[in-house]
């Protein structure tokens, strides 16, 4: 029984990874005409990836989703708007502020701004700029989850908020310094990590299925959309404020 | 031995990622909610699975996929491979980069299929929609969007056209589609942009973008390397809504 379950998970994981293996093999052998280097190491790595993915998916169903939904239900039953919104903000802020991808992007952005003469290129100034950027992105993700939760509670239609956000992004692009625009656009994508996404999704769906009159499909999704939109606006705002 | 050291480093990093979530939930349990969590043991076991699974996954990627993918991205965007050994070029010819666009599209599709965040969202969407949204249908549609996005993004780096034009056109398409797409797919479509760019896709896409920006004549890696992720985030929104529109139109016509 357990063995057949494990085999099923592993078969799923192999299916998930098959496309990558095919693409790499095709380009390596047919296009670049080179043998696969370190074959043993690659196979060992692939084995780890399969085992890891199978374990992750199992943990997702057992732990991450139920925790997110349990928190959503408990908070909705408690009925305190303040504590719910505070939870939403803290979840977004705390999972983003130490995100390795964000730290890397912020450091790189500081290099660019320093080399372009936009900020003082001393080590201290660069670090300060990178730290400020991280704080701005983390704050905006927290605010995004908060707005998203508010939307689920009130039942606001998502498209007006998102389209409004798009219009603000485009307007700010016309006035923001060009060195920050690429970074701002990318900041939206790098903030949503593999553990945050399932948790935030479960929170949204849990809230929407607990609050009367909300549909899980129509109202439960959309939190991640806010979390990838708001950082763009705030990072451009940060650029406008700093580069003067 | 070296591997064990690498793996423990990744395990520690994953624990650090999870730490703020654990602190937040514990504080809320004790100070705000003040009630026992049902099935606590099962939840903890599940959480441990997630942490170990993710660390294994990342260790495997570091060992197998990332080095190979990065070398291939560098080789494919190398001017010697593209133009031949003896030709010096000062202006990039966008037509010469066919293999790069194809590699970008295929690796984008393949990494998106394996993206754990997308697997999670597809699972939830399938459950919530009572099976009307199929997991593989959503994942393949998103992956096609990501493939188009990465291909378009590499084309942008090769030609050096301004990023905001692509974003402006993309936003316009999304806004127009929003008014015609079936209502219940819209929030999921908006979300699918953000989930594409995660653990597997970002490192490879970033390597491809930086490699191209550094090797294509006339591009500045500091400025042109950015923006690829933004385009990759945008295209799945368009394909998911497009697929829902197509299915809607198809079922209407059959009636």
pLDDT at position A1: 67
Distance of CA A136 to the CA centre of its chain: 15
Average pLDDT of the segment spanning B249-255: 83
Structure confidence by residue, pLDDT tens digits, B46-85: 989 999 998 998 888 888 777 877 788 777 777 777 666 5
Of residues B98 and B102, the one with the higher pLDDT is: B102
Indicate if the pLDDT at residue B136 is higher than 90.
yes
- A61 touching B (Cβ < 8 Å): yes
Indicate if the pLDDT at residue B138 is higher than 80.
yes
Q: What's the token pair of residue B85?
A: 């050994």
Q: What's the token pair of residue B193?
A: 């942009």
Average pLDDT of the segment spanning B26-31: 85
Cβ <8 Å between A20 and B110: yes
- A103 touching B (Cβ < 8 Å): no
Q: What's the token pair of residue A239?
A: 């650029």
Q: What's the token pair of residue B19?
A: 């730490």
Structure confidence by residue, pLDDT tens digits, B214-245: 777 777 766 777 788 889 889 999 999 999 99
Angle, helices B163-180/B228-254, rounded to nearest 10 degrees: 20
Distance CA B227, CA B221 (A): 11
Q: How confident is the model at residue A244 (pLDDT cuts 50, 70, 90)?
A: low
Looking at chain A, the whole-number percentage of residues with pLDDT higher than 70 is 98
Give the DSSP letter string of B12-79.
HHHHHHHHHHHHHHHHIIIIII-SPPTTHHHHHHHHHHHHHHHHHHHHHIIIIIHHHHHHHHHHHH-H
ipTM (interface predicted TM): 0.88
Structure confidence by residue, pLDDT tens digits, B153-194: 999 988 888 888 999 999 999 999 999 999 889 999 999 988
Mutate to test the interface with B, among A6, A16, A48 (most CBs of B within 10 A): A48
Average pLDDT of the segment spanning A85-105: 87
Among B112, B139, B126, which Cα is nearest to B198's? B112
**Interface contacts (A, B; CB < 8 Å):** 324
Is B213 within 8 Å of B224 (Cβ atoms)?
Answer: yes
pLDDT at position B222: 66
For chain B, the average pLDDT equals 85
- B46 touching A (Cβ < 8 Å): yes
Distance CA A162, CA A143 (A): 14
Is B99 within 8 Å of A2 (Cβ atoms)?
Answer: no
Distance CA A170, CA A159 (A): 16
The sign of the torsion formed by the CA atoms of A180, B116, B11, A206 equals positive
Provide CB contacts within 8 A for A67, sequence distance 6+.
Answer: A199, A202, B25, B43, B46, B47
A200: nearest CA partner in chain B: B121
Structure confidence by residue, pLDDT tens digits, A99-148: 777 887 888 788 877 877 777 778 888 888 889 999 999 999 999 999 99
pLDDT at position A180: 84
Cβ <8 Å between B50 and A59: yes
CA B129 to chain A, closest CA, distance in angstroms equals: 6
Distance CA B240, CA B144 (A): 9
pTM given for the model: 0.90
pLDDT at position A114: 80
Of residues B214 and B122, the one with the higher pLDDT is: B122
Indicate if the pLDDT at residue B150 is higher than 70.
yes
CA A95 to chain B, closest CA, distance in angstroms equals: 6
- B183 touching A (Cβ < 8 Å): yes
């Amino acid at each position: 029984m357990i063995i057949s379950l494990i085999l099923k998970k592993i078969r799923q994981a192999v299916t998930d990874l098959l496309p990558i293996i095919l693409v790499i093999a095709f380009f390596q052998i047919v296009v670049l005409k080179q043998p696969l280097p370190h074959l043993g190491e690659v196979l060992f790595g692939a084995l780890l990836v399969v085992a890891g993915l199978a374990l992750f998916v199992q943990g997702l169903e057992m732990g991450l989703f139920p925790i997110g939904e349990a928190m959503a239900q408990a908070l909705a039953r408690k009925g305190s708007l303040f504590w719910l919104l505070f939870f939403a903000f803290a979840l977004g802020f705390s999972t983003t502020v130490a995100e390795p991808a964000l730290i890397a992007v912020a450091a790189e952005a500081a290099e660019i701004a320093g080399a372009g003469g936009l900020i003082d290129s001393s080590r201290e100034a660069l670090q300060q700029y990178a730290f400020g950027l991280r704080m701005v992105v983390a704050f905006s993700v927290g605010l995004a989850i908060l707005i998203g939760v508010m939307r689920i509670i009130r039942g606001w239609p998502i498209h007006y908020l998102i389209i409004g956000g798009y219009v603000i992004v485009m307007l700010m692009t016309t006035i923001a310094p060009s060195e920050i625009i690429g970074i701002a656009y990318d900041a939206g994508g790098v903030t949503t990590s593999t553990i945050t996404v399932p948790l935030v999704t479960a929170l949204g769906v849990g809230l929407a299925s607990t609050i009367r009159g909300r549909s899980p499909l129509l109202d439960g999704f959309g939190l991640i959309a806010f979390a990838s939109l708001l950082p763009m606006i705030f990072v451009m705002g940060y650029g406008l404020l700093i580069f003067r | 031995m070296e591997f064990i050291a690498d793996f423990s480093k990744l395990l520690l990093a994953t624990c650090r990622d999870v730490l703020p979530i654990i602190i937040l939930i514990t504080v809320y349990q004790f100070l705000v909610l003040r009630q026992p969590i049902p099935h606590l043991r099962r939840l903890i076991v599940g959480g441990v699975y997630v942490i170990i699974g993710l660390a294994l996954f990342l260790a495997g990627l570091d060992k197998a996929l990332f080095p190979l993918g990065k070398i291939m991205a560098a080789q494919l965007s190398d001017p010697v491979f593209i133009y031949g050994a003896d030709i010096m070029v000062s202006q990039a010819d966008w037509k010469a980069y066919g293999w790069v666009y194809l590699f970008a599209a295929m690796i984008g599709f393949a990494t998106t299929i394996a993206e754990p965040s997308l697997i999670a969202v597809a699972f939830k969407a399938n459950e919530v929609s009572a099976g009307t949204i199929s997991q593989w249908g959503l994942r393949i549609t998103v992956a096609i969007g990501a493939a188009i996005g990465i291909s378009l993004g590499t084309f942008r780096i090769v030609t050096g056209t301004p990023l905001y034009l692509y974003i402006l056109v993309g936003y316009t398409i999304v806004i127009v589609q929003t008014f015609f797409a079936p209502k219940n797919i819209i929030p999921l479509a908006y979300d699918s942009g953000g989930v594409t760019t995660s653990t597997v896709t970002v490192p490879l896409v970033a390597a491809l973008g930086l490699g191209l920006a550094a090797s294509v004549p006339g591009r500045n890696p500091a400025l042109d390397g950015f923006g690829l992720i933004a385009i990759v985030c945008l295209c799945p929104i368009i394909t998911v809504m497009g697929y829902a529109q197509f299915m809607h139109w198809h079922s209407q016509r059959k009636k």
